[in-house]
Chains A and B, each alone.
Chain A
Amino acid sequence: MTTRTPPHVTLFDYGAGNLHSLAKGLEAGGARVTITPDWTEALSRDALILPGVGSFGAAVRALEGHADTVREALEAGLPCLGICLGMQLLFDGSEEGEGRGIGLLPGQVRRIRARVVPQMGWNDVDTTPDPLFEGLHASGSGSGVPGGEPADAPHVSAETSRGMTGDESGSGPDVTAVTSPGMTGGEHGDAPHVSAVTSSGMTAYYANSFICEATDPESVIAWSDYGEERFAAAVRRGRSWGVQFHPEKSSAAGLRLLRNFLSEVTR
């Protein structure tokens, strides 16, 4: 649909955690937000947001008996954004707790392999061209950074190929492989300021002990590195997206991502 009316999204409430920032972030992006613990209502608006607060076990209990209904709604095209735990719920199940997830995306959730867990803090996200990341490729922040030389931003043009259909992947070694695998801490002697540490993606806030292992690698649309591994920072299937980081805690870049999602909802 091409309506210009603000999208009315639902924020599912598992009963724990902070939903204020996410609700405000979505409102800042132009949405009307309803917070609800009721699945029927949650699936009845323009989009469903699965927030990233609480434990997997508690969320799965809230999902019990409704997983199939939710999956069918998403498969039928209801736009969805799952955040952190909400992204993990899109998969089949998790090491973290009993019970099954929504099963929209094949794969399992497992503990991240690193000495220090949880992963807590801002990490670089290597993005591939997807409308979710529009405006976030060239620099570390959401808006045009002054002096953001195009030097290492060959992906900007790619992102203008919007309206991507299903999965556009197929094409060889995907974009992420081209990007610098994590910036080099030590040696940027010449430019100690902003441009020195931007990579070809965004920097986003994480607070997670678990990650999603997607069976279908083509569902992964962004990657991050932590500890010994490279993990799915964001996934997509159809009109459902999942992000392992917290856009509502990622300052301007995160707000931009929420706005991008809302643009897709009204597309």
Chain B
Amino acid sequence: MLRPRVIVCLDVQDGRVVKGTNFRGLRDVGDPVELAARYEAEGADEIVFLDISASHEGRGTLLETVQRTARVLFIPLTVGGGVRTEHDMNALLRAGADKVSVNSGAVNDPDMLTRSAALFGRQCVVASLDAARVEAGTPLGEGPDAPRAPEAGWYHHTHGGRRATPLEAVAWARRCAELGAGEILLTSMDRDGVRTGYDLALTRAVSDAVDVPVIASGGAGEASHLRDGFTEGGAAAVLVAGILHDGLTTVEALKAELMGWGIPVRPVPASEPEAA
């Protein structure tokens, strides 16, 4: 049977893993290559690098980081952040990413999802959704002419969650899957860094609406949150970051608890002397 996945996310800036709350107040937590390898040994099912470098230099550093990581990591690596075109995607895949996640790039040019899927296979194409709940009448975009939310709901955001779009999140997720995305990385902006659990209603709404796997993200504080992401949210995978980087728990401990509740996650492998 297909195992529910526990994915570890590392925010990468200028070649270092950084950590923050609600996309603010960053601090350095280590080397991405070392941390990725450590999480594989702990039993992580996949690794995600989310590049939050603002500069061009930072982007070059990312390719080099991905290359170094691919040499030592033998679980899947997804890389995202700043991907605009299928050429950006190709560069990351050739550097050693297995999948690439796209946010703004798909909003600006939805067809790039289709072109990328045709070139690389849709299993490489991850649509990243940053969804936040807004009230009716909230401006969705910049400037005085920005449209306003016709009703309360979850809307997709770009630019690290700072910029609202008029795209209703569930509909946008469905559209991304139709266009060619093979997976949806669904982050709740409201829960990100808060550690009170995933937004289960949002996760369930998107999981029910699309026929591709959904990764729940934003809000993991303890193992029961992961469990609920699978059982109540209907997620195929859950993303965990802060509680691991802060040393509050380990992937192994989280998986042991999940297995105790009957969630058939992949068992943590024994030590692996053969990894190069």
Q: Which chain B positions have C-beta within 8 A of A192?
A: 256, 259-260
The size class of the interface chain B forms with chain A is: 35 or more
Q: Is there a chain A Cβ closer than 8 Å to B105's Cβ?
A: no
- Determine which of B93, B236, B272 lies in contact with A53 in the assembled complex, contact meaning CB atoms within 8 Å: B93
Interface of B is mostly: loop
Q: Is there a chain A Cβ closer than 8 Å to B74's Cβ?
A: yes
Closest chain B residue, CB of each to CB of A247: B74
Rounded to whole Å, the gap between the CB of A55 and the closest CB of chain B is 5
- Known contacts A186-B262, A249-B74, A251-B75; decide if A121 and B272 are in contact (CB<8 Å): no
- Inter-chain CA distance A255–B237, complex, in Å, is 24
- Inter-chain CA distance A186–B99, complex, in Å, is 31
The answer to whether A122 touches B266 (Cβ under 8 A) is yes
Closest chain A residue, CB of each to CB of B72: A24
The answer to whether B120 touches A16 (Cβ under 8 A) is yes
Q: Is there a chain A Cβ closer than 8 Å to B3's Cβ?
A: yes
The answer to whether A16 touches B274 (Cβ under 8 A) is no
Closest chain B residue, CB of each to CB of A17: B93
Q: Which chain A positions have C-beta within 8 A of B2?
A: 119, 121-123, 206, 226
Q: Which chain A positions have C-beta within 8 A of B270?
A: 139, 141, 143-146, 194, 252
The answer to whether A16 touches B262 (Cβ under 8 A) is no
Rounded to whole Å, the gap between the CB of B272 and the closest CB of chain A is 4
- Determine which of A53, A117, A122 lies in contact with B5 in the assembled complex, contact meaning CB atoms within 8 Å: A122
Q: Is there a chain A Cβ closer than 8 Å to B182's Cβ?
A: yes
- Known contacts A16-B90, A57-B118, A123-B3; decide if A252 and B272 are in contact (CB<8 Å): yes
- Inter-chain CA distance A143–B267, complex, in Å, is 13
- Inter-chain CA distance A196–B261, complex, in Å, is 12
- Inter-chain CA distance A24–B271, complex, in Å, is 19
One of A65-73, A160-168, A197-205 at the interface: A197-205
Q: Which chain A positions have C-beta within 8 A of B273?
A: 143
Q: Is there a chain A Cβ closer than 8 Å to B59's Cβ?
A: no
Q: Is there a chain B Cβ closer than 8 Å to A4's Cβ?
A: no
Rounded to whole Å, the gap between the CB of A45 and the closest CB of chain B is 21
Q: Is there a chain A Cβ closer than 8 Å to B51's Cβ?
A: no
Q: Is there a chain B Cβ closer than 8 Å to A100's Cβ?
A: no
The answer to whether B3 touches A16 (Cβ under 8 A) is no
- Known contacts A17-B94, A209-B182; decide if A254 and B121 are in contact (CB<8 Å): no
Q: Which chain A positions have C-beta within 8 A of B82?
A: none
The size class of the interface chain A forms with chain B is: 35 or more
- Inter-chain CA distance A141–B256, complex, in Å, is 16
Residues of B150-190 contacting chain A, CB below 8 A: 182-183
- Known contacts A146-B270, A193-B256; decide if A123 and B71 are in contact (CB<8 Å): no
- Inter-chain CA distance A21–B270, complex, in Å, is 21
- Determine which of A24, A116, A193, A253 lies in contact with B269 in the assembled complex, contact meaning CB atoms within 8 Å: A253
Closest chain B residue, CB of each to CB of A191: B259
Residues of B190-212 contacting chain A, CB below 8 A: 211-212
The answer to whether B267 touches A20 (Cβ under 8 A) is no
- Inter-chain CA distance A186–B256, complex, in Å, is 14
Residues of B76-110 contacting chain A, CB below 8 A: 76, 90, 93-99
- Top-9 shortest CB links A-B: A252-B272, A141-B269, A192-B260, A28-B276, A20-B70, A207-B123, A20-B96, A182-B1, A122-B3
| Chain B residues within CB distance 8 Å of chain A | 1-5, 40, 45, 67, 70-76, 90, 93-99, 117-124, 182-183, 211-213, 236-237, 256, 259-260, 262-276
Known contacts A116-B236, A196-B267; 8 further A-B pairs (Cβ under 8 A): A18-B95, A54-B121, A121-B4, A143-B271, A182-B1, A192-B260, A196-B259, A249-B74
| Chain A residues within CB distance 8 Å of chain B | 16-18, 20-21, 24-25, 27-28, 53-55, 57-58, 85, 115-124, 139-146, 182-183, 185-188, 192-194, 196-198, 203, 205-209, 225-226, 246, 248-256, 259
Name 27 A/B residue pairs within 8 A (Cβ), A-sorted: A16-B90, A18-B97, A20-B71, A53-B120, A54-B120, A117-B212, A118-B122, A118-B213, A120-B212, A120-B236, A121-B2, A121-B4, A122-B5, A122-B45, A124-B3, A139-B270, A140-B267, A143-B269, A185-B1, A203-B3, A205-B75, A206-B2, A207-B76, A251-B75, A252-B275, A255-B74, A259-B274
